[in-house]
Structure 1
Amino acid sequence: MAVDNEAAAPRNTRTKPRAGRAVAGLVIIVLLVAVGVLGYLLWQDQRQDALRQSAADDATRLVIQLATYDHTDVDQNLDAVVAEATPGFADRYREVSEGLRELLASGEGTSTGTVTHSAVESLDGDTAVVLVFLDQEVTNVTVPDGRVDSSRMVVTVVRDGDRWLLEDAQLA
C-alpha cells in the first residue's frame, strides 16, 4: 500500500498548483473588470462635472448678454441674444424687444450686466437649469448717474453640439 500513497502524492501536488493558477487568474480578471468599471465611472463623473461647468459658464455669458444693452444699438444686442437662443426663446425675445426698442431709445437706456454667482441646479441629458445672481447697472434719462438692480434668475439652457443655447430666463 505504500506504493499507492506515493503515487497519490504526486497527483495532489500537481493539482494544487493548477488550482492556485486558476484562482490567481480569476482574481486578476476580477480586478481588471473592477478597474475598468471604476475607470468608466470616474470618466463619466468627470464628464458630468465638465458639462455642469460649461452650462454654468455659458448661462453666465448668456445672461450678461441678455442684460447688457445700449439704446444707440438695440439691434446689435437683439441679434447677439437671438444668435445663441433656441428658436422658441428667440421668437419670444424678439416680441418683447420690439416693444422696448422705442422706450430704450426715448429714455436713452443703457445697461451693463454682471453675474456675481451662478450654479447648476439640475442637469438632465442635454438640458440644464442654472441659478444666476445678476447685477445690472442701469442708466437712463431718469437715472443719469445710474443705479444697480440686483436680480435672481432661473435660466434654462439646452445643449446644441458643443455649446448651450438659451431656452428660458425667468426672474426668481
Structure 2
Amino acid sequence: MTEEGAEASDLAEVENDAAVDGVVDSAGGDTGAADADETVPPEETVAPDEAAPVKPKRGLPNVKTLALAAVLAVLVVAVGVLGWQAWQQHQINQARDEALHAAVSYAEVLTSIDSNNVDENFRQVLDGATGEFKDMYSQSSGELRQLLIENKATAHGLVIDAAVQSVSKDKAVVLLFVDQSVSNTKLPDPRIDRSRMKMTLEKADGRWRASKVELP
C-alpha cells in the first residue's frame, strides 16, 4: 500500500470513530435528560380533607325557606281560628242544653199548684224567675194566693214538647207545649188544658232563669 493510501485509510477510521462518539454522546445526553426528569419529585397535592375549611356564607333566607315559614304561619293561624270556633260552638251547644232543661223544669213548676202548699209553690216560682217576669209575679202573688186558696185549686203541668228558638251564651228563647191538669171547687173532675208557652231565659250567677213568659 502506498503512503497516500495509508493516510486516506487512517483519516477514514478517525472520521468513523468521531461519528460513533457523536452518536454515543447524543444518546448519553438523552439518557441524562430522562434521568433528570425521573429524579424531579412530583408536586405535592393537598387532599380535600386537609384543605382549609371554607366558612359558610351568611346571607338572607332563600325563597323556599320564606315560603315554608309563610305556610307554617298560615297553618298556625288557621288552627287557632278553628280551635276558637270549635270552643265557641261548644259553649253554644252547652248553653242550648242547659237552657232547654231549665225551661222545661221551670214550665212545669210554673203550671203546677197546690192550694194546700201555695207558699212553697210561689217560692219555687220566684226562685226560677228574674227581671221583668219576677217583678210582675211578685206584685200579683198576694191576690193570686187568696184566689187559689178560696177555690181549692190544684194544677199539674207536664211539658210534652220543647225546642230552642234562639240561644247565645247567656240568653235563650224556648218554645214549649204544656198539658195542664186543672181542678177546683167548680170543676171537681180534672180538665186537661193544652197551652203554648214562649219563655225567655237569661243566665245569671251561673243559673238560667225566666225573664219573660208569654202565652201566644
Aligned twin of 2:84 = 40
Query: Partners of 1:23 and 1:69 in 2: how far apart?
Result: 71
Q: Following TM superposition, by how much is the alpha carbon of 1:35 offset from its aligned partner in structure 2, in angstroms?
A: 1.3
Cα distance in 2, alignment partners of residues 33 and 124 from structure 1: 25
Corresponding letter in the other structure for 1:158: E
Q: CA deviation at 1:72?
A: 0.1
Structure 1 unmatched runs, 5+: 1-14
Amino acid at match of 2:78: A
How many Å apart are 1:104 and its aligned residue? 1.5
CA contact (8 A) 2:113 2:155 kept: yes
Tell me how far apart the structure 1 counterparts of residues 117 and 145 of structure 2 sit (CA, whole Å): 10
- Are 2:129 and 1:85 aligned? yes
Q: Which digits, 9 at most, give the CA deviation of each residue in 1:65-112, with x for residues without a partner?
A: 111110001110111111221153223112333222222222221111
Q: 1:124 to 1:49 in 2, by over 3 A?
A: closer
Q: How far, CA to CA, are the matches of 1:144 and 1:164 in structure 2? A: 36
Q: CA deviation at 1:151?
A: 0.6
CA contact (8 A) 2:95 2:170 kept: no
Note if 1:96 corresponds to 2:140: yes
Percent identical among aligned pairs is 38
Q: Deviating runs (4+, > 6 A) in structure 1?
A: none
Q: Which residue of structure 1 aligns with residue 161 of structure 2?
A: 117
Structure with the larger RCO, 1 or 2 (CA within 8 Å, 6+ apart): 1
2:201 is matched with which residue?
157
Aligned residues: 158
**1:51 aligned to 2:109?**
no
Per the alignment, residue 12 of structure 1 pairs with none
Alignment of 1:133-152 (within 5 A): 133-152=177-196
- Which structure has the larger Rg over C-alpha atoms? 2
For the aligned residue pairs, the C-alpha RMSD in angstroms reads 2.1
Under a length normalisation based on structure 1, what TM-score does the superposition of the two structures give?
0.82
Q: If the length of structure 2 is used for normalisation, what is the TM-score?
A: 0.66
SS at match of 1:61: helix
In structure 1, distance between residues paired with 2:134 and 2:81: 42
SS across alignment from 2:146: helix
Within 2, Cα distance between the matches of 1:94 and 1:74? 14
Q: Please say if 1:63 is aligned against 2:107.
A: yes
In structure 1, distance between residues paired with 2:185 and 2:154? 10
* Correspondence for 2:70 among 26, 44, 48: 26
How far, CA to CA, are the matches of 2:145 and 2:137 in structure 1? 12
